[in-house]
Amino acid sequence: MSTARDTATISDDALGDEEWAREVRRWATRRDAIILAHNYQRPEIQDVADAVGDSLALSRRAAASDAAVIVFAGVAFMAETAKILAPDRTVLLPEPRAGCSLADSITADQLRAWKARHPGAVVVAYVNTSVEVKAESDLCCTSANAVEIVNSVPASREILFLPDQFLGAHVQRLTGRDNIHVWMGECHVHAEITPQDLRERVAQLPAAELFIHPECGCTTTALWMAGRGDLPPGRTRVLSTGGMLEAARTTTASHVLVATETGMLHQLRRANSATRFEPVNPAAQCPYMQMITPAVLLRSLREGTHEVNVDPEVARRARRSVEAMIAVGAPSRGE
Ligand code: 13P
Ligand code: SF4
């Protein structure tokens, strides 16, 4: 994509923040590229992007974009989803090792074996899955529309929900269905936001509101505490990252405790400077999201690294479930 002269004249490490941001924007224009950044990206990456959002919003943005190149500052399953929705566009994932422990928790072979044990069941896959798993699924969802997607399945049909056990339990709770089988996968970052962390932080800040991502290991405890009155009703909200941002704009709480990856705090603090947003677990950082550094993003634009390709037949099969995901449901506002 670039010439030897282009790459040789710039030393990324020597660039100051503003110069780096100008270079990124200059190369984005030159490549006719749109930069999409997930809410968990480093603050400087979020600030330079064309769009920042949750998985659902970014998938919709990728599908609607007419840019020649989509640079996905996120993880592999997100870039693959963009490629499925925009097959004629060049999709770049700046760091190809940026995977996802949750997506790794189920393979297409495991899913085929599970389906064989439940013939006729409808497979609902969280977007945090490989393209091969999506191709074996009937419907895809994100944390923002999982309940709406499950509710779109007739009540009499059995559902296989995968791969996140905590989101699955949340969906079971909200839909009240007893015919949902849940895969016992987890995201290692969210699983480590524990009930113990939550209890300690609530004891320190008893008046705080709680925003909890449904992938968290503490979700069930938080709702149980709210149910017992240990947390006042209406102050504990289970939200996608996009839902957290909407809630941040309208909250009047002085403090909000946030249970998700800490990159999210950047958007929340920008959205509302009157409220203090604090992490439930400050160590909850996704190592894959962190791999997209400023230098890696600039190199991606300049050198066209790393192009994401999806086998066309697998993409065709995955597209049905992904298109259903972006069509169904406005982002959930939690509870
Ligand atoms: P969202 O769908 O809320 O953006 O979350 C994606 C993700 O990877 C959570 O860990
Ligand atoms: Fe995957 Fe967890 Fe990272 Fe999200 S935070 S990308 S689910 S490893």
Same structural domain, 12 and 82: yes
Q: Region 328-334: what's the mean pLDDT?
A: 48
Same structural domain, 81 and 115: no
pLDDT tens, position by position, 154-164 = 999 999 999 99
Same structural domain, 19 and 95: yes
Is the separation of the CB atoms in 276 and 253 below 8 Å? no
Protein residue with its CA nearest to atom 3 in ligand 2: 286
The first and second tokens of residue 282, run together, are 């400050």
- The sign of the torsion formed by the CA atoms of 309, 314, 317, 321 equals negative
Residue 334 located in a structural domain: no
The tally of domains found in the chain comes to: 3
Mean of pLDDT over the chain: 92
186 lines ligand 2 (CB under 6 A): no
pLDDT band at 5 (very low <50, low <70, confident <90, very high): very low
Q: Which residues contact 15 (CB under 8 A, 6 or more apart)?
A: 23, 298
Q: In angstroms, rounded to a whole number, what is the distance separating the alpha carbons of residues 13 and 11?
A: 6
Same structural domain, 123 and 175: yes
Same structural domain, 279 and 304: no
Q: Ligand 1 centre and the CA of 184: distance in Å?
A: 17
Q: Region 213-234: what's the mean pLDDT?
A: 84
Report the SS3 class of residue 145. Answer: coil
Domain that holds residue 133: 103-187+316-328
Q: Which residues contact 130 (CB under 8 A, 6 or more apart)?
A: 77, 80, 103, 107, 108
Q: Ligand 1 centre and the CA of 30: distance in Å?
A: 30
Same structural domain, 276 and 194: yes
307 DSSP 8-state letter: B
From the CA of 101, give the closest atom in ligand 2: 8
128 lines ligand 2 (CB under 6 A): yes
pLDDT tens, position by position, 16-67 = 999 999 999 999 999 999 999 999 999 999 999 999 999 989 999 999 999 9
Residue 1 has pLDDT above 50, yes or no: no
DSSP calls for 100-139: -TTGGG--HHHHHHHHHHSTTPEEEEESSS-HHHHHT-SE
pLDDT band at 68 (very low <50, low <70, confident <90, very high): very high
192 DSSP 8-state letter: T
Q: Region 118-134: what's the mean pLDDT?
A: 97
- Higher pLDDT pick, 258 / 330: 258
Residue 198 located in a structural domain: yes
Q: Region 147-160: what's the mean pLDDT?
A: 97
Q: Which ligand is nearest to the CA of 289?
A: 2
From the CA of 241, give the closest atom in ligand 1: 3
| pLDDT of the residue at 227 | 81
From the CA of 190, give the closest atom in ligand 2: 2
- The sign of the torsion formed by the CA atoms of 265, 268, 274, 275 equals negative
Same structural domain, 157 and 172: yes
Q: Region 313-334: what's the mean pLDDT?
A: 80
From the CA of 128, give the closest atom in ligand 1: 8
